[in-house]
Amino acid sequence: MPKPNIIRFWHGLLRLLVTVVVILGIFGLFLWLMGRDPIKSYRDTFRLNLLNPRGLAEVVVRMSPLLLTALGVAIPFRAGLINVGAEGQFMMGALLGTWVALNLPGLSQSLHLLLVILAGMLGGAVWGAIPGALGWANETITTLLLNYLAPLVVGYFVFGPWRAPELAMYPQTPEFPPSARFPMFFPGTRMHLGFFLGLFFLLAYGYLISRSRWGLELRAVGGNPEAARRLGIPVERWIVGAMVLGGALAGLAGIAEVAAIHGRLKMAISPGYGFMGFLVNWLAFANPIGILIMSFLVAFIASSGFTLQLTQRLPYAAVNVLMALILFTVLAKPFAKGVRR
C-alpha cells in the first residue's frame, strides 16, 4: 500500500540525514587515523565555508562549473549513457574557447564573449561526439580514455605554440583581452556569468526534459531503445545528440572557468570538476532540483578540501577519498530492505 506523500517526504529526509551522519562519521574516523582532529576539522570547514559570507560566496562560485558538468552528465544519462568524460570535455572547451579569445581581437565585448562561449561549447561537443559516434556499447570506457587525451592536447598548446613568452617560468597562454573576460557581479565576490549560465541551462534542462517532445524522445531512448526504435525515434541520432549536448555544457564549464577565474589557459584549471559533476548527477539521479542541491553540497565539499589543506595540512587528495566514501555509502543503500542472496 503506498504511503501518503507527507510520510514519504519525512522518511526521505530522515534517510538523507542518517546517510550524512554515517559519511561524516566514517570520514571523521579517517581523519583521526591520519592524525588529525576531526571535530576541529569539521568546525573549521563549516565556519569558513558556510557561516562566513565570503566563504559562502566562494562555494557558490564553485557551484558554477559543477552545475554545468553535472548537466553534461545528466543529459546523456537520461538517454541511457554513462558519460564519465566531462573532465576531458571541460579541458577541450577551455582549449577551443581560448583560441577564440586570443585570436579574434578588435571585436565588441558582447560579440567576442558570445564567440568565446560558443567555441567553448563546440570544443566540448566535439570531444563528447567522439564516444557517441563510436557506438554505445563502450561509451563509458571511451569517455574515460579521452579524459587522458584531453590534458595532453592542452599541454601541447600551453607548453608549445601558445605559451606566453613573457612568463617563461610558467607554462601558460597570454592573458585574455578584456573583451573575452566573463563579467563579474557583486563586488567583493567572484560571482561570474558562468553561474547564471549554469542556472539558465539547469532551468532549460528541467523544462525541456519533462515538458517537451525532445525530452520525451530522449527519455524513451534511455528507457527502452528497442521500443523507441519501433516508434520511429532516431535512436542513434539521439545517442550522438545527447553526447554532443552533454559535451557542450561541460565544455562551457571549462571556458567559463578560464575566462572568469584564471584569465588565461594553463594546465591546472580543474581540481576534478568533471568527475565531481559525475558524482553530483549520480547523487541527484538527473533530477534538476537534485542537481542544484547536490552541486551546492559537492561545491561545499570541494571548498572544504581546500580549507583542510590550509588548516590541517591535509593533501587535497583527501577530498577524493571523501567523495569515494559518499559514493560507497550511497551505493550500499543503508536503508534498503530485503536484499539477500
Partner 1 sequence: MSWFLSWLSGAILYAAPILYPTLGEVVGQRTGMVNLGLEGLMLLGASISFAVSFLTQNAWVGILAAAGAGLTANFVYAWLVVHRNASQLAAGLALMFFGIGMSALIGKPYVGQMAAYLPKYPLLGPKSLVFRYDILVYFAFALAPLVWFFLFRTSFGLKLRAVGESPAIAYAAGVSPAFMRYFAAAFTGVMAAVGGAHLALGIAGTWSEGMTAGRGFIAIALVIFSRWNPLRAIIGALVFGGAVVLQLQLQAQGIGVSAFLMDMIPYVLTVLVLLVWGRGVRYVAPASLGRVYFGTE
Binding residues for partner 1, rule: CB under 8 A, are 34, 82, 84, 134-135, 137-138, 140-142, 144-149, 152-153, 155-156, 159-160, 275, 278-279, 282, 315, 317-325, 327-328, 331-333, 336, 339-341
Q: Name residue, grid cell 558554477.
A: 64
| Minimum gap (Å) between residue 316 Cβ and partner 1 | 8
| 257: DSSP letter | I
| Minimum gap (Å) between residue 46 Cβ and partner 1 | 22
Nearer to partner 1, 64 or 83 (CB): 83
| Minimum gap (Å) between residue 137 Cβ and partner 1 | 6
Nearer to partner 1, 182 or 273 (CB): 273
Nearer to partner 1, 145 or 216 (CB): 145
| Minimum gap (Å) between residue 34 Cβ and partner 1 | 7
Provide the H-helix boundaries in the chain. 5-33, 38-49, 53-78, 86-103, 109-133, 139-159, 193-211, 213-223, 225-230, 235-256, 273-284, 288-311, 318-331
What sign does the CA torsion over 25, 74, 129, 96 have? negative
Query: SS3 for 184?
Result: strand
Nearer to partner 1, 56 or 321 (CB): 321
| Minimum gap (Å) between residue 287 Cβ and partner 1 | 16
Task: Find the angle CA(296)-CA(301)-CA(307) to the nearest 5 degrees.
Answer: 125
Nearer to partner 1, 160 or 188 (CB): 160
| Minimum gap (Å) between residue 8 Cβ and partner 1 | 21
Q: Which three cell numbers stand for residue 24?
A: 561524516
Nearer to partner 1, 6 or 152 (CB): 152
Cα(139)–Cα(258) distance, integer angstroms: 27
Nearer to partner 1, 244 or 325 (CB): 325
CB–CB of 70/284 below 8 Å? yes
CB–CB of 242/165 below 8 Å? no
Nearer to partner 1, 199 or 267 (CB): 267
Q: Which residues contact 241 (CB under 8 A, 6 or more apart)?
A: 132
CA quadruple 196, 214, 70, 290: dihedral, nearest 10: 90
| Minimum gap (Å) between residue 75 Cβ and partner 1 | 17
| Minimum gap (Å) between residue 199 Cβ and partner 1 | 27
Say how many C-beta atoms besides its own lie within 10 A of residue 31's C-beta: 22
